[in-house]
Amino acid sequence: MIEEIKQLAHKQRDEVIEWRRWMHRHPDLSQEEYGTMAFVAERLTEMGLTPRTGIGRTGVMAMLRGGIDPDSYCVALRADYDALPITECTGLPFASENPGVMHACGHDMHTCSLLGAIKILIQLRERLHGSLMFIFEPSEEKYPGGARMMMEDGLFDEVTPDEIYSFHCLPEMDFGRVGMKKGKYMASTDELYWTVKGKGGHGATPHLNVDPILIASHIVIALQQVVSRNAAPMSPTVLTIGKIEDVGGRTNITPDTVKMEGIIRSFDPEWRLRTHELIRKISCGVAEAMGGECDLFVDYGYPPVINDDDCTQQVYDNACAFLGKENVEWLDLRMTAEDFAFFQQKIPSCYFRIGIHEPGTPFSNLHRPNLMVDERSLELANGLVAYNAVMALNNRIKQK
């Protein structure tokens, strides 16, 4: 089975790469993925499937019924396909043709790898014990998240999968390697939006003003105690302020208002809610003490990614068989976040990683304008994803 899948993956390598390059040239922002949705639906239709489109506005789902007892078990495979508001600077001949938009998180690689895996699985259909669900998710990068949007729009109304799997490329990991982690893997994430209000005026008469820039600066410093003095050392937490802007100031004008944006990430549900209280109390208290006001909006985001032990062990074992144990590793916690966690709250699952770094080349992280993907990783991914899906179905049937 492994050699057969590897041969099928190699045979379609060039086609999958061309799919990925098309997607890279034509990226769509979150909740605007109409072109991408049409592209994916067209590929699925060419393969003989009947895709459902428009789930969660711009999502796609298709089913593949296996040749043996198709109603006995269902395994879902998921890929995300939205891009980011980033101007690409890779210099690639297939660079983004959509100004200011780029697949800088590898979602084009995820989507086309899953399409490649589906093409393999269709050729193995008669040997599949059960059925497969293929989920192409929009808006992973933007709240409320495509996973939540698709479920609220009836994704699982007819069939709820017994297991679900997804992967994400990892640029700090070399091509040819994969990794995963049992249990807690990625953090919850909530977005924070502050409006700090003071009293503007001439910059040369500070005694007549209430400076919101100064207040905001003190809030930024004071908030560091949320992690350093309130979070338990064994409870990883990240608080980051990523944006500060005044509204109307200049060299000699103190503005009335300063706006700030940031994130809070953690793993423990109770501590997660406690951070919101602390951030609000500190922010409003500092502002009031300095003669101003502060409004804080917490946009409650994604839960933590928590992998099912059995599903993760299965991915590990299948990856070792497919790639060799020397190319598979157990990973550490990450403070990045993923709305795949919404699926995990409903279905046992594993979210794993596939390396995309070409050894010997400069490293560029996700969400950067020069992110590069070693395109050999597409062949590896579509083969591994297909093999894991076959084994997930067959193993569960054997257990029954």
* Average pLDDT of adjacent 10-residue blocks, the chain of 400 residues: 97 98 98 98 98 98 96 97 97 97 98 98 96 98 97 97 98 97 98 97 96 97 97 95 91 96 97 98 98 98 97 98 98 97 97 96 93 97 98 75
Phi, psi of 188 (to 5 degrees): -70, 160
Which residues on neighbouring strands pair with residue 295, listed in sequence order?
Answer: 195
Pair of tokens at residue 151 = 């479920």
With H, G, I as helix, E, B as strand and everything else as coil, classify residue 103.
Answer: coil
Pair of tokens at residue 160 = 């709820």
pLDDT value at residue 397: 58
Residue type, 19: W
Instruction: Work out whether the CA dihedral 326, 330, 332, 334 comes out positive or negative.
Output: positive
pLDDT value at residue 167: 98
pLDDT value at residue 362: 86
CA angle 301, 306, 312 (to 5 degrees): 145
Tell me the DSSP string of 139-172: -TTSTT-HHHHHHHTTTTSS---SEEEEEEEEEE
Which residues on neighbouring strands pair with residue 259, listed in sequence order?
Answer: 195, 245
Query: What are the b/e assignments for 261-278, b being 16+ CB within 10 Å?
Result: bbbbbbbbeebbeebeeb
pLDDT value at residue 363: 87
Name the one residue in this structure whose structure tokens are 């034509």.
26
Of 181, 177, 135, 139, nearest in space to 155 by CA: 135
The two beta strands, 131-137 and 328-330, are unpaired
The Cα 331–Cα 340 span in angstroms is: 18
Residue type, 40: V
Pair of tokens at residue 37 = 């949705």
Pair of tokens at residue 329 = 């590793």
CA angle 288, 293, 296 (to 5 degrees): 115
The two beta strands, 74-80 and 163-174, are parallel
pLDDT value at residue 383: 98
pLDDT value at residue 395: 80
pTM greater than the 0.85 cutoff: yes
The Cα 28–Cα 82 span in angstroms is: 6
Contacts (Cβ under 8 Å, ≥6 apart) of 281: none
The two beta strands, 131-137 and 74-80, are parallel
